Structure 1
């Protein structure tokens, strides 16, 4: 009889062991899951510390200056030599046909010279080259003038100064206090320290009034190019 009881002992223990083992594995899994959650949460917080705010990601390093001065950025240098106003300018097409174009506003013609610091550079029409008014309005260069007649048709090289003109079409009330902002075209990969130049065009008070009153009836761009 004792032999029968001792033989039954392992039979009665086996279910107890089989019930306890899953509970141990479940507890261990919960601990691992909890630790992994803490690690992932910490990693997410850590990663967020490297994400710059939107305004900082789109910011540029700005160099300020006045008309007639050489304004130096860490990528290029620019000088505005003169600002002219006109009621009409000319343009050209692919066949070199010259067309006179007018405006009910005012053409501002800004003569510039540029050299670069390290690598060649071009300017392009758009939000990187604008006229900024005293009240915060922004005007891009006019699309009435073919780019072949403007500073957009130049390739600026390190150590060499090249000149061109930027043509804006603006209302007369945009002239007083106007500034010009120039920057290289935006790249696919954002450069958080991309350079830009902001130039006071010297059009405050009487200077703006004189420029408007003395606006040329017609300013030829084609003859200057040739």
Structure 2
């Protein structure tokens, strides 16, 4: 059967379209592979940064209460006492003893800690925090000489180190308050799954009220480090 010129043009157009379709499909597959590699690279890049506290896995938070030894794979810690004060005695910039006050309340947590394998030192870059029942977080105060606190202690394997952490908190933050101890991390690449200890300070509303009523006028840190 004879084939007309219009039929020939139609077949050639169809064949060309199929070739273009095959080339387009290959291009899409290559683009998909490149996109997949980019997503994987982005995921690896994202894991080099520490997640905010709220986004960390709860399974990595080892919980306990004041007076109880809380053990993680990197360190163990215990809160032995908690006191409140309207002022604390510290060392001033000239090296002489001085008193500093707060418009809130100083909360002084006495902490002992040890490590199973490697020396460790708590850092202000990723410091311990007080976590309130409604999610507020308070870092340790910068009003006291760091040499008088737990930040100055190198915690050695098999040995117990003792020191205080001093915070400034409003009275309404006391009920349900927890101390979160976070191990230090160095360098650009950090472990987002590093374990931390969360210690309930045992401050019910009644206990918090007692703590406030018994707050010391001045709690001296000098000579206790």
Moved over 3 A (4+): 33-37, 52-57
Aligned positions of 1:157-196 closer than 5 A: 157-187=156-186, 188-196=188-196
Tell me by how many angstroms 1:42 deviates: 2.1
Distance of 1:182 and 1:102 partners within structure 2: 25
Distance of 1:124 and 1:131 partners within structure 2: 15
Distance of 1:53 and 1:73 partners within structure 2: 27
Per-residue displacement from partner, 1:129-168 (whole Å, max 9, x unpaired)? Answer: 1111111111110010010000000001111110000000
Structure with greater Cα Rg: 1
Per-residue displacement from partner, 1:3-35 (whole Å, max 9, x unpaired)? Answer: xxxxxxxxxxxxxxxxxxxxxxxx79x94x863
Tell me by how many angstroms 1:74 deviates: 1.3
Per-residue displacement from partner, 1:154-201 (whole Å, max 9, x unpaired)? Answer: 001111110000000111111111011110224321203211111100
Q: Which residue of 2 is the match for residue 87 of structure 1?
A: 86
Q: 1:113 to 1:40 in 2, by over 3 A?
A: same
Q: Which residue of 2 is the match for residue 44 of structure 1?
A: 35
TM-score scaled to structure 2, two decimals?
0.78
Tell me by how many angstroms 1:91 deviates: 1.5
Q: 1:122 to 1:113 in 2, by over 3 A?
A: same
TM-score scaled to structure 1, two decimals?
0.78
Q: Which residue of 2 is the match for residue 97 of structure 1?
A: 96
Per-residue displacement from partner, 1:33-69 (whole Å, max 9, x unpaired)? Answer: 8636523422422553572797996136210000001
Distance of 1:54 and 1:176 partners within structure 2: 36
Distance of 2:138 and 2:46 partners within structure 1: 23
2:190 pairs with 1:199: no
Tell me by how many angstroms 1:104 deviates: 2.0
Distance of 1:139 and 1:84 partners within structure 2: 16
Count, aligned residues: 198
Q: 1:127 to 1:192 in 2, by over 3 A?
A: closer
Contact preservation (8 Å) 2:67, 2:80: yes
Contact preservation (8 Å) 1:156, 1:162: yes
Unaligned runs of 5+ in 1: 1-26
Q: Which residue of 2 is the match for residue 125 of structure 1?
A: 124
Q: Which residue of 1 is the match for residue 223 of structure 2?
A: 223
